[in-house]
Amino acid sequence: MEKFIEMVKDSKVCMLITNEKNGENLSGRPMSISKIDDDGGMWFFTKSSSYKVEEIEESKKVSIAIANESSNNYLMINGTGNLVNDKIKMKELWSSILKAWFPLGLDDPDMILIKVTPNEVNYWDSSSSTMVVLFNMLKAIVTGKVYEEGEHGKINL
Amino acid sequence: MEKFIEMVKDSKVCMLITNEKNGENLSGRPMSISKIDDDGGMWFFTKSSSYKVEEIEESKKVSIAIANESSNNYLMINGTGNLVNDKIKMKELWSSILKAWFPLGLDDPDMILIKVTPNEVNYWDSSSSTMVVLFNMLKAIVTGKVYEEGEHGKINL
């Protein structure tokens, strides 16, 4: 879990992937990760009026892809997305960088948080030049099994 | 199209996203892009015995996520994945780096190509610090419409 959190912290930006409302296609966009909690919960600021909010209202199934070539961090996260309209939490997570999206700051009425709770995390080892899956976090801890060549089992958080 | 190809070429690695065979979850792994054709077709080497090959046999619907923080290139591509077992094509695309995965080289019997034909490409402008969608390639060309704040229409290639 620590390794996962550390890798996410290395990457400021991820692709947040939702299901289009037609249920047919995936919809993804770069999103800045505001915070990752100690239990792996990931927080994002967004506009309440955005398509992704509508998509999450329709399907809470979201994924996060991180492919950070410079830090060599690769993660694929499946999880549940929840919309959190909590001004106290927004204040806690606020950073001045967010003014680029929300010039009104915390008073912006068109602001909501997305919290992604991961239920499956796959990550690839950063020190391996051949990009082998060294392990799948919890599964590896439980079974001691090593996966090879980007092929791997599933873990459940 | 040129801009899209250029951005893909900037990124050696992407997350190739397939549908798990249960049809419920997404499965993603970092993959090295061997080549992008002038028409946007993207080529990958993989092992015939890998899960992703089974997944593509079950569902040709694949996505590619590129989130390259260092070059500030962000792309989300939906497309069709096809398995191509063509030794001549493999020879054309072969690079010595691939020996890390295929020590036997082109003689490796457990080798197949995946060709992803994009049908929808979204990309984000690299020069915008606020990560605004400047346009959605073809749609923008056709309609001249500018999309804002990561929210955008769809394009079909």
Distance from the Cα of A79 to chain B's closest Cα (Å) equals 10
* ipTM of the prediction greater than 0.85, yes or no: no
- State how far the Cα of A65 lies from the Cα of B66, in Å rounded to an integer: 8
pLDDT tens digits in sequence order for chain A, 157 residues long: 888 898 898 888 899 999 998 877 899 999 999 999 999 999 999 999 999 999 999 999 999 999 888 777 889 999 999 999 999 999 999 998 888 788 899 999 999 999 999 998 988 765 543 333 433 333 333 443 333 444 333 444 5
DSSP track, B81-111: EEEE--HHHHHHH--GGGGGT-TTGGG-SS-
- State how far the Cα of A14 lies from the Cα of A31, in Å rounded to an integer: 5
Distance from the Cα of B33 to chain A's closest Cα (Å) equals 13
In order of A43, B36, B55, the CA distances from B68 in angstroms are 20, 17, 26
Nearest CA-CA partner of A61 in A11, A26, A110: A26
Task: Find all residues with CB under 8 Å of B10, minimum gap 6, and list them.
Answer: B68, B71, B73
Mutate to test the interface with B, among A50, A60, A63 (most CBs of B within 10 A): A63
Residues in chain B with CB shorter than 8 Å from the CB of A122 are: 28-29
Long-range contacts of B136-145 (CB under 8 A, 24+ apart): B137/B1, B137/B3, B137/B4
A92: helix, strand or coil = helix
In terms of DSSP bridges, do strands A42-46 and A35-36 run parallel, antiparallel, or are they unpaired? antiparallel
B42-93 pLDDT, tens per residue?
A: 999 999 999 999 999 999 999 999 988 877 788 999 999 999 999 999 999 9
Residues in chain A with CB shorter than 8 Å from the CB of B17 are: 17, 26, 63, 65, 76
Interface of B with A in 20-39 (CB under 8 A): 25-32
Q: Does A100 touch chain B (CB under 8 A)?
A: yes
Nearest CA-CA partner of A127 in A72, A49, A74: A72
